[in-house]
């Protein structure tokens, strides 16, 4: 049994115009010490899924069904107070977009780390402070800056503080939600390297949520591609990137330039993600898919394992498995 | 310590330099106000001497009096004298009581300050507490109730509400005195006197609190809701902090700078509000003194009271700047490290 399992997780937001089906029957599993990347366009439900896992939903977010299991223990049924004390940050922590507003501007950065330790562990403030200083040191920030405020840090340094904070209580699973968005490329590389080193050293499991496929290629063992609230393809990063079986994945992979390949034009996927209040019938990707036919419009494709761990939800998976460049054909047509 | 530091592309002043600048600008504003007052009183139609000089006096007597009062001096000399008098708090003599204005103000100031500080403290505390309560229970019936009550009392005219209270609790159910600062004659003993003063204070201060807390509550509620939607609140919740810690340590703490600033910025408004309250409850304070002085055309008294109010406004603005610097680390710490 996997260490962390999500089964058929469904979460809708209630709005005045109807239910927004942000997370709709999502399943995946993570082994201990492994990293899973979740990729997709903005608004595909990947961040909503992260907040669902930590049960930090806004008032209008409602978990409609499914299960989240950690070491076999169901996390969604746990009473709120128990979940807060035993799971949040203690076992599952989160790396937020630190460059933005994840740190409270009126508290000293060191105190924000200490606070997490003092909430979950019965240690003296002196001990908590010492540990927080160690954590800062570990992410490459001079512990002398313990008493500084967030506005005195650069974006990259704030992101490092956020990483240190996520590790404060020695969690088993870290969810990184777009940890490098809004950082410049150099800093982005440094931050990713810091996360990767720490993860390997501490044997952490990780969920990396991003819209940047190259980040996942660099950091993760497995990848799940999300589209319109569902996972459409899942497998080892190598398999999915080298042999995408879903037209959407194939399009995403094509949309990234390959530094090793010759000059080629980057092509985007035409159209935009659907409205999740009233998603398309059948396969949710069909309005943008060059292969869509009557069956795709009517019948929702099942999620099936193709080979090993590689699974896909597409009626036309065999066309892609045959190595046809569907997006190329479309361009020519 | 340097004067400025460049941080995150924003130029921030060192705290001491910041205070110094604020102090200088406060003094400058005071100077402009008193100069303006000087000009206004001299531009007004009529000769100030006509108020104290009987027209039946001989021209020689008038000339002598004008000379004694310095009215024949060139404007510049008059201005210098005027400034000198204000700076030394020599505010002249009241036309009506023939006593030095400063003595009369000194006598009334403690009463005004008592009323003022009591109203102010309880208004701010009640308002902020209600605001936090409303934000924490967003969408509940309790929230609707307290914000509704806040809006209602805020909209009620002060004088009307105060007269109503007087009628209710001073006349129909006479549990509070209907006028004054202390009973006449005052009761024997320090404690009895203190209690008597408190007894007189309840209605005026209480009415101010009820009328004033609404705007605080609404402002605090809005600021709290804004803060509660920030990313760092999600971080705080994700860290497993209790809802209490999230609410007070993260949300309230981060909206404190603007709230405290607003508290101090509201001080001048309360000073002027004192005029109405003191008049209605016959409170022996500066506000009623000002009203009486204006009604009796007692210019030195009115000018003295205006001067005092101008100082109160400027001092409270300066305090607001000072406190803002203290509670907002983005102003404070930048200076320490600069």
Residues B76-90: tens digit of each pLDDT: 888 888 888 888 888
Please judge whether B242 and A84 are an interchain contact, meaning their C-beta atoms are less than 8 angstroms apart: yes
Tell which wins on pLDDT, B147 or B15: B147
Please judge whether A56 and B334 are an interchain contact, meaning their C-beta atoms are less than 8 angstroms apart: no
Mean predicted confidence (pLDDT) in B174-184 = 84
Q: Walk across the sheet containing A18-30 and list its strands.
A: A18-30, A4-15, A61-70, A73-74
Looking at the partner chain, which of A59, A94, A104 has a beta carbon nearest the beta carbon of B254? Answer: A104
In a domain, B167, yes or no: yes
Q: Which residue of B has its CA nearest to A171?
A: B239
B317 C-beta neighbours (distance < 10 Å), count: 18
Angstroms from A47 CA to nearest CA on chain B: 13
Q: Give the C-alpha separation, A278 to A20, whole Å.
A: 8
Q: Which pLDDT score is estimated for B43?
A: 73
In a domain, B94, yes or no: no
In a domain, B92, yes or no: no
Q: What is the CATH number of the domain that holds B303?
A: 1.10.3720.10
Q: Is the pLDDT of residue A1 over 60?
A: yes
Dihedral sign, Cα of residue A152, residue B262, residue B302, residue B109: negative
Q: Which pLDDT score is estimated for B36?
A: 85
Tell which wins on pLDDT, B16 or B292: B292
Looking at the partner chain, which of A105, A119, A151 has a beta carbon nearest the beta carbon of B239? Answer: A119
Looking at the partner chain, which of A85, A94, A148 has a beta carbon nearest the beta carbon of B238? Answer: A94
Mean predicted confidence (pLDDT) in B291-310 = 85
In a domain, B160, yes or no: yes
Mean predicted confidence (pLDDT) in B285-297 = 87
Angstroms from A14 CA to nearest CA on chain B: 15
Q: What is the pLDDT of residues B87-124, one digit of tens each?
A: 888 888 887 888 999 999 999 999 988 998 899 899 99
Chain A residues closer than 8 Å to B259 by CB: none
Q: In Å, how far are B171, B215, B279 from B167, measured between CA atoms?
A: 5, 25, 15
Mutate one of A106, A110, A154, A209 to test the B interface: name it (highest B CB count within 10 A).
Answer: A106
Q: Is the pLDDT of residue A192 over 80?
A: yes
Please judge whether A56 and B238 are an interchain contact, meaning their C-beta atoms are less than 8 angstroms apart: yes
A88: DSSP letter: B
Tell which wins on pLDDT, A120 or A329: A120
Mean predicted confidence (pLDDT) in B233-258 = 92
Q: Give the C-alpha separation, A163 to A141, whole Å.
A: 11
Angstroms from A278 CA to nearest CA on chain B: 27
Q: Give the C-alpha separation, A139 to B311, whole Å.
A: 53
Please judge whether B238 and A89 are an interchain contact, meaning their C-beta atoms are less than 8 angstroms apart: yes
Please judge whether A149 and B333 are an interchain contact, meaning their C-beta atoms are less than 8 angstroms apart: yes
Task: Choose the weakest-confidence range: A233-237, B230-234, B293-297.
Answer: B293-297
In a domain, B78, yes or no: no
Residue B169 neighbours by CB under 8 Å, 6+ apart: B175, B176, B203
Mean predicted confidence (pLDDT) in A286-293 = 90
Q: Copy the structure tokens of residue B138.
A: 């967003």
Please judge whether A56 and B139 are an interchain contact, meaning their C-beta atoms are less than 8 angstroms apart: no
Please judge whether B238 and A104 are an interchain contact, meaning their C-beta atoms are less than 8 angstroms apart: no
Please judge whether A56 and B237 are an interchain contact, meaning their C-beta atoms are less than 8 angstroms apart: yes
Local confidence band at B5 (pLDDT 50, 70, 90 cut-offs): very low
A153: DSSP letter: S
Q: Which residue of B has its CA nearest to A168?
A: B239
Looking at the partner chain, which of B232, B257, B337 has a beta carbon nearest the beta carbon of A102? Answer: B232
**Locate tokens 């993600």: which residue?**
A273
Chain A residues closer than 8 Å to B232 by CB: 101-105
Q: Give the C-alpha separation, A302 to A230, whole Å.
A: 11
Q: What is the pLDDT of residues A22-50, one digit of tens each?
A: 999 999 999 999 999 999 888 888 889 99
Mean pLDDT (chain A, rounded): 90
Local confidence band at A329 (pLDDT 50, 70, 90 cut-offs): low
Please judge whether A94 and B333 are an interchain contact, meaning their C-beta atoms are less than 8 angstroms apart: no
In a domain, B223, yes or no: yes
Looking at the partner chain, which of A51, A89, A100 has a beta carbon nearest the beta carbon of B239? Answer: A89
Q: Which residue of A has its CA nearest to B231?
A: A102
Q: Closest Cα partner for B91 from B293, B315, B328?
A: B293
Angstroms from A209 CA to nearest CA on chain B: 16
The number of folded domains in chain B is 1
Q: Give the C-alpha separation, A313 to A332, whole Å.
A: 26
In a domain, B6, yes or no: no
Please judge whether B8 and A56 are an interchain contact, meaning their C-beta atoms are less than 8 angstroms apart: no
B253 touches chain A (CB under 8 A): yes
Chain B residues closer than 8 Å to A107 by CB: 250, 253
Looking at the partner chain, which of A56, A120, A165 has a beta carbon nearest the beta carbon of B234? Answer: A56
In a domain, B84, yes or no: no
Mutate one of A61, A96, A149, A168 to test the B interface: name it (highest B CB count within 10 A).
Answer: A149
Chain B residues closer than 8 Å to A175 by CB: none
Q: Give the C-alpha separation, B81 to B76, whole Å.
A: 9
B7 touches chain A (CB under 8 A): yes
- Does this model's pTM top 0.80? no
Q: Does residue B100 sit in helix, strand or coil?
A: strand
Q: Give the C-alpha separation, A301 to A299, whole Å.
A: 6
Answer for the pair A34, A240: CB distance below 8 angstroms, yes or no: no
**Measured in Å, how far apart are chain B's first and last C-alpha atoms?**
6
What range defines the domain where residue B310 resides? 100-327
Q: Copy the structure tokens of residue A135.
A: 């954590």
Local confidence band at B3 (pLDDT 50, 70, 90 cut-offs): very low
Mean predicted confidence (pLDDT) in B148-176 = 90
How many percent of chain B have pLDDT more than 70? 88
Q: Give the C-alpha separation, B257 to B332, whole Å.
A: 12
Please judge whether A115 and B7 are an interchain contact, meaning their C-beta atoms are less than 8 angstroms apart: no
Looking at the partner chain, which of A93, A100, A107 has a beta carbon nearest the beta carbon of B231? Answer: A100
Q: Is the pLDDT of residue B185 over 60?
A: yes
A4 half-sphere exposure, CB direction, 13 A CA radius? 21
Q: What is the pLDDT of residues A232-284, one digit of tens each?
A: 999 999 999 989 999 999 988 887 776 666 666 667 788 888 889 999 999 99
Output the DSSP codes for B271-326: HHHHHHHHHHTT--SHHHHHHHHHHTT-HHHHHHHHHHHHHHHHHHHHHHHHHHHH
Chain A residues closer than 8 Å to B249 by CB: 115
Q: Does residue A213 sit in helix, strand or coil?
A: helix
Q: Closest Cα partner for B215 from B151, B136, B297?
A: B151
Interface pTM (ipTM) of the complex? 0.87
């Amino acid at each position: 049994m996997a260490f962390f399992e999500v089964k058929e997780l469904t979460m809708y937001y209630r709005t005045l115009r109807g239910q927004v089906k942000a997370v709709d029957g999502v399943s995946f599993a993570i082994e201990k010490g492994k990293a899973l990347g979740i990729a997709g366009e903005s608004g595909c439900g990947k961040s909503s899924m992260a907040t669902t896992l930590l049960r930090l939903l806004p008032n209008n977010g409602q978990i409609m069904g499914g299960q989240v299991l950690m070491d076999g223990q169901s996390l969604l049924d746990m009473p709120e107070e128990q979940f807060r004390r035993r799971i949040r940050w203690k076992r599952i922590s989160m790396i937020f977009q630190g460059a933005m507003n994840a740190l409270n501007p009126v508290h000293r950065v060191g105190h924000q780390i200490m606070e997490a330790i003092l909430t979950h562990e019965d240690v003296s403030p002196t001990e908590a402070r010492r540990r927080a200083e160690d954590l800062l040191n570990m992410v490459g920030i001079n512990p002398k800056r313990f008493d500084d405020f967030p506005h005195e840090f650069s974006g990259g340094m704030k992101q490092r503080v956020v990483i240190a904070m996520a590790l404060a209580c020695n969690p088993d699973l870290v969810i990184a939600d777009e940890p490098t968005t809004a950082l410049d490329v150099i800093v982005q590389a440094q931050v990713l390297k810091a996360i990767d080193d720490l993860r390997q050293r501490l044997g952490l499991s990780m969920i990396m949520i991003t819209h940047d496929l190259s980040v996942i290629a660099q950091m993760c063992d497995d990848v799940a591609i999300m589209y319109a609230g569902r996972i459409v393809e899942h497998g080892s990063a190598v398999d999915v990137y080298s042999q995408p079986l879903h037209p959407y994945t194939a399009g995403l992979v094509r949309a990234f330039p390959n530094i090793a390949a010759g000059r080629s034009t980057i092509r985007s996927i035409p159209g935009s993600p659907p409205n999740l209040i009233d998603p398309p019938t059948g396969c949710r990707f069909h309005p943008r898919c060059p292969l869509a036919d009557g069956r795709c419009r009517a019948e929702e494709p099942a999620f099936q394992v193709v080979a090993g761990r590689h699974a896909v939800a597409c009626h036309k998976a065999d066309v892609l498995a045959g190595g046809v460049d569907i997006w190329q054909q479309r361009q020519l047509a | 310590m340097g004067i400025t530091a460049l941080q995150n592309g924003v130029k921030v002043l060192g705290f001491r330099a910041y205070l110094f600048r604020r102090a200088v600008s406060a003094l400058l504003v005071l100077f402009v106000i008193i100069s303006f007052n000087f000009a206004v009183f001299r531009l007004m139609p009529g000769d100030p001497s006509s108020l104290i000089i009987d027209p039946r006096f001989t021209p020689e007597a008038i000339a002598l009096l004008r000379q004694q009062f310095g009215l024949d001096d060139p404007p510049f000399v008059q201005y210098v004298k005027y400034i000198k008098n204000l700076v030394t708090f020599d505010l002249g003599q009241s036309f009506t009581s023939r006593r030095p204005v400063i003595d009369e103000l000194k006598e009334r100031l403690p009463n005004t300050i008592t009323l003022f500080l009591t109203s102010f403290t309880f208004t701010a505390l009640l308002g902020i507490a209600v605001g936090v309560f409303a934000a924490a229970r967003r969408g509940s019936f309790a929230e609707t109730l307290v914000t509704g009550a806040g809006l209602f009392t805020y909209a009620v005219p002060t004088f009307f509400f105060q007269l109503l209270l007087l009628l209710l609790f001073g006349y129909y159910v006479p549990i509070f005195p209907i006028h004054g600062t202390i009973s006449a004659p005052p009761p024997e003993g320090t404690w009895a006197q203190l209690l008597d003063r408190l007894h007189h204070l309840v209605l005026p201060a209480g009415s101010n609190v009820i009328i004033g807390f609404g705007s605080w509550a609404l402002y605090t509620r809005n600021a709290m809701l804004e803060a509660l939607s920030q990313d760092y609140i999600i971080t705080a919740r994700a860290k497993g902090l209790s809802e209490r810690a999230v609410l007070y340590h993260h949300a309230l703490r981060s909206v404190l700078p603007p709230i405290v600033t607003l508290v101090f910025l509201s001080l001048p408004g309360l000073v002027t509000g004192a005029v109405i309250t003191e008049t209605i409850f016959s409170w022996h304070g500066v506000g009623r003194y000002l009203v009486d002085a204006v009604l009796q055309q007692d210019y030195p008294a009115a000018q003295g009271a205006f001067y005092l109010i101008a100082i109160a406004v400027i001092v409270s603005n300066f305090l607001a700047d000072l406190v803002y610097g203290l509670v907002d680390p983005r102003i404070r710490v930048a200076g320490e490290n600069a």
